[in-house]
A and B are shown apart, each in its own frame.
Chain A
């Protein structure tokens, strides 16, 4: 229970003497931080944490029991998908508890966007979840169009859906590669990057950028399709099924890969909903929640597709879910190309738009889950409040829930199966 204690004077914990700290903890009724220092290998548990715990949960995590120790994973670490620190309480090789420490990549994007025009905001959101840039831009574009009261032209919506599905394909492909890499398989990541390279060359032909595309505008997209884009799209489309199946075969039936992912990190559907996990992670636990079907936006109500789910809820199910979604996205792209109408690709809007005061909420299905934007306009050129809800941030809460009882070596594999991207986590 958090209470405000304004009257008690507590000395600065950073400078407490070790004995003093022990005395205070014992007086407060907590177990000592370092129990029997001499017993465990003669090491001192220095530095984690560098101050006494402040909240109930911190006390729970940082109190060491019999034979337990605190191990730091990160922030400099080859496998944490960006900079993140996981304080892991282990008993030997078995994990007892995990405390993620975030904020190493925090750039203050939400506050920054309060001083930027609506069009500039669309460039600020690109590097949030840098592997799904198009989705990062799609949600604010829809929210700002709601605020401004316009609709993008039909062709623009189709192009938006096309690039968004292409982005989803390469993001899921990369997840495949990272999952194998975190388990020691060196090759699938490079094959995944070959797939990504083909798509990114295509997207650079249409938007001018290879990674942070800056392609969406309020009222449409920036450029129309051109010859190079279409020719690359055609070449890619004729090869992609074969390539995806080849990459998939390398991993899906591999005995070692299966032994390390089946039954690992199992989340039931109920647990996943309670934790706020969305997207492929939720659908792999059996819940058929897909924003594109549950609350259709853009042109998704015109396209035919099913919501894919897998009943397992373990890492293997999450992997299979993403492979299935890649194939579904290819199917969606076929329909989009079939039905794309002619027309303009951007509505006529002034350079600096000033929407009427109001509130708008827009949610899209990003490769990591429900990515949404809540924006408040006060009539001026800048958003009054620009809030992004990033799926990786919330899905990260599932890791301390599923890991206790498993081995340290599984932490990275399970985290990779949730596919977090730290840019989104830390905003």
Chain B
């Protein structure tokens, strides 16, 4: 028993270390994608000096952010000022614990994994509020309040949109959900409305364009991050790109079959080969959706803050409730 406990603990520590280490190259890759993909859509070249056709640009960005001077405003509350980026980053990192990379390759395979995920994701709201408050700056405060309002109002349609999927599959665990999708086909066919609501709400939740007025730099400079510099600022942006990856990953797991290949394979590959196969398909699908988010950033202008709230409360929430009712009735009626 002791050995089991120790092995379990060791496995957990190894998994969390790997996950934290994974966040770094993920953020770098997504930043590089953003630089080059948006440049291509803008008919520009983007960075092309550092590395072959600019591939190491975002790594250098990371080093630059480390090397910058760390300033704290004179009248800012130093302890909370330091705590805010940690909170946001930890919310993202902790939610990676339940990401279903491959069968057997989940750091913590809770049977209430979905609940855990959405609960932990909400912690980033606290981080942004604290950042806005602790900066002792009117603009940061306004930005922090805006972002808190935005994230809180979008959490409701976000969580409601997947309740339909949960009711259909009858489980709150990610791996069981994906197993159900293997039997019955991907959930995007069963829950198209839920998918739409989830996608829009997830973009708003992670402050991506068109819902990025938190960092609307043409209005209130950088919102709650105005007073942050150096690595503290780097943490916020790390957290944002990691959250983008995580949201895409969860979207893929919930609606697009997670680690499953697009066509049904007769035999389930076991062991190490199975894990690799799952990881390959998971990352491929996730990065397709990351690409779509970057594409949206290049194309769409920003929605205004009151229109944003309007969409959440007047369109997405009623739609999510309607979706839930239809699903529940269908489950009972057709004995699914």
Q: How far is the CA of A256 from the CA of B219 in the complex (A)?
A: 17
Known contacts being A77-B221, A409-B213, is A185 close to B301, with CB within 8 Å?
yes
Q: Which residues of A contact B303 (CB under 8 A)?
A: 256, 259-260
State whether B210 touches A184 (Cβ < 8 A). Answer: yes
State whether B43 touches A190 (Cβ < 8 A). Answer: yes
Tell me which of A77, A79, A185, A191 contacts B300 (CB under 8 A): A185
Q: Which residues of B contact A71 (CB under 8 A)?
A: 138-139, 142
State whether A79 touches B218 (Cβ < 8 A). Answer: yes
Between B141, B209, B219, B297, the greatest number of chain A beta carbons within 10 A of the residue's beta carbon is seen for B219
Q: Which residues of B contact A194 (CB under 8 A)?
A: 43
| Segment with Cβ contacts to B, from A128-136, A175-183, A211-219, A389-397 | A175-183
Q: Which residues of A contact B38 (CB under 8 A)?
A: 186
Q: How far is the CA of A410 from the CA of B43 in the complex (A)?
A: 28
Q: Would you give the shortest CB distance from A316 to chain B, in whole angstroms?
A: 13
Q: Would you give the shortest CB distance from A403 to chain B, in whole angstroms?
A: 13
Q: Which residues of A contact B212 (CB under 8 A)?
A: 184
Tell me which of A184, A185, A254, A259 contacts B216 (CB under 8 A): A184
Q: Would you give the shortest CB distance from B295 to chain A, in whole angstroms?
A: 11
Q: Which residues of B contact A407 (CB under 8 A)?
A: 304-306
State whether B300 touches A254 (Cβ < 8 A). Answer: yes
Q: How far is the CA of A181 from the CA of B218 in the complex (A)?
A: 8
Closest residue of chain A to B215, judged by CB?
A184
Is B44's beta carbon under 8 Å from chain A?
A: yes
Q: How far is the CA of A187 from the CA of B297 in the complex (A)?
A: 9
Is B307's beta carbon under 8 Å from chain A?
A: yes
State whether B301 touches A409 (Cβ < 8 A). Answer: no
Q: How far is the CA of A180 from the CA of B300 in the complex (A)?
A: 9
Closest residue of chain A to B217, judged by CB?
A78
Is A257's beta carbon under 8 Å from chain B?
A: yes
State whether B304 touches A410 (Cβ < 8 A). Answer: yes
State whether B138 touches A412 (Cβ < 8 A). Answer: no
Closest residue of chain B to A194, judged by CB?
B43
Q: Would you give the shortest CB distance from A201 to chain B, in whole angstroms?
A: 16
A-side interface size class: 20 to 34
Q: Which residues of B contact A186 (CB under 8 A)?
A: 38, 42, 297-298
Q: Which residues of A contact B299 (CB under 8 A)?
A: 185, 187, 250
State whether A187 touches B210 (Cβ < 8 A). Answer: no
What is the 8 Å Cβ interface bit string for chain B, positions 109-127, against chain A (1 contact, 0 not)?
0000000000000000000
Tell me which of B44, B217, B305 contacts A409 (CB under 8 A): B305
Between B138, B220, B304, the greatest number of chain A beta carbons within 10 A of the residue's beta carbon is seen for B304
Tell me which of B44, B210, B305 contacts A256 (CB under 8 A): B210
Q: Would you give the shortest CB distance from A100 to chain B, in whole angstroms?
A: 17
Q: Which residues of B contact A78 (CB under 8 A)?
A: 217-218, 221
State whether A259 touches B42 (Cβ < 8 A). Answer: no
Q: How far is the CA of A69 from the CA of B136 in the complex (A)?
A: 15
Q: Which residues of A contact B221 (CB under 8 A)?
A: 77-78
State whether A190 touches B300 (Cβ < 8 A). Answer: no
State whether B302 touches A187 (Cβ < 8 A). Answer: no
Q: Which residues of A contact B297 (CB under 8 A)?
A: 186
Q: Would you give the shortest CB distance from B293 to chain A, in whole angstroms?
A: 14
Q: Would you give the shortest CB distance from B146 to chain A, in whole angstroms?
A: 8
Q: Which residues of A contact B302 (CB under 8 A)?
A: 183-185, 256, 260
Q: How many residues of B contact A (CB 8 A)?
A: 32
Q: Which residues of B contact A190 (CB under 8 A)?
A: 42-44
Q: Would you give the shortest CB distance from A30 to chain B, in whole angstroms?
A: 23
Is A27's beta carbon under 8 Å from chain B?
A: no
Q: Please report which residues of chain A, range 399-418, place their CB below 8 angstroms from some CB of chain B when the two chains form the complex.
A: 407-412
Q: Which residues of A contact B136 (CB under 8 A)?
A: 43
Known contacts being A186-B42, A190-B44, A254-B301, is A259 close to B307, with CB within 8 Å?
yes
Is B41's beta carbon under 8 Å from chain A?
A: yes
Tell me which of A41, A93, A256, A410 contacts B301 (CB under 8 A): A256
Q: Which residues of B contact A43 (CB under 8 A)?
A: 136, 138
State whether A257 touches B138 (Cβ < 8 A). Answer: no
Known contacts being A69-B138, A184-B210, A184-B212, is A412 close to B219, with CB within 8 Å?
yes
State whether A93 touches B218 (Cβ < 8 A). Answer: no
Q: How far is the CA of A257 from the CA of B109 in the complex (A)?
A: 43
Q: Please report which residues of chain A, range 64-123, place their CB below 8 angstroms from some CB of chain B when the two chains form the complex.
A: 69, 71, 77-79, 93
State whether B138 touches A409 (Cβ < 8 A). Answer: no
What is the 8 Å Cβ interface bit string for chain B, positions 224-254, against chain A (1 contact, 0 not)?
0000000000000000000000000000000
State whether B300 touches A259 (Cβ < 8 A). Answer: no
State whether B304 touches A182 (Cβ < 8 A). Answer: no
Q: Which residues of A contact B41 (CB under 8 A)?
A: 187
Q: How far is the CA of A410 from the CA of B219 in the complex (A)?
A: 9
Q: Would you give the shortest CB distance from A243 to chain B, in whole angstroms?
A: 11
Between A184, A256, A257, A411, the greatest number of chain B beta carbons within 10 A of the residue's beta carbon is seen for A184
Q: Which residues of A contact B42 (CB under 8 A)?
A: 186-187, 190-191
Q: Would you give the shortest CB distance from B153 to chain A, in whole angstroms?
A: 15
Closest residue of chain B to A80, judged by CB?
B218
What is the 8 Å Cβ interface bit string for chain B, positions 5-26, against chain A (1 contact, 0 not)?
0000000000000000000000
Between B210, B300, B301, B304, the greatest number of chain A beta carbons within 10 A of the residue's beta carbon is seen for B301
Q: Would you give the shortest CB distance from A251 to chain B, in whole angstroms?
A: 8
State whether B220 touches A408 (Cβ < 8 A). Answer: yes
State whether B298 touches A187 (Cβ < 8 A). Answer: yes
Q: Which residues of B contact A191 (CB under 8 A)?
A: 42-43
State whether B305 touches A180 (Cβ < 8 A). Answer: no
Closest residue of chain B to A185, judged by CB?
B301
Q: Would you give the shortest CB distance from B88 to chain A, in whole angstroms?
A: 22
Q: Would you give the shortest CB distance from A409 to chain B, in whole angstroms?
A: 5
Q: Would you give the shortest CB distance from A317 to chain B, in whole angstroms?
A: 18
Complex A-B, nearest 3 residue pairs according to Cβ-Cβ distance, in ascending order: A184-B302, A185-B301, A183-B301
Residues of B whose CB lies within 8 Å of any CB of A are 38, 41-44, 136, 138-139, 141-142, 146, 209-210, 212-213, 216-221, 297-307
17 A-B pairs within 8 Å (CB atoms) are namely: A41-B141, A43-B136, A79-B218, A93-B142, A93-B306, A184-B301, A185-B299, A185-B301, A185-B302, A187-B41, A191-B42, A250-B299, A256-B302, A259-B304, A407-B305, A409-B216, A411-B219
Extra contacts, 19 of them, besides A184-B209, A409-B304 (Cβ < 8 A), are A41-B141, A71-B139, A77-B221, A78-B218, A79-B219, A182-B218, A183-B302, A184-B302, A187-B41, A187-B298, A190-B42, A190-B43, A259-B303, A408-B219, A408-B220, A409-B213, A409-B219, A409-B305, A412-B219
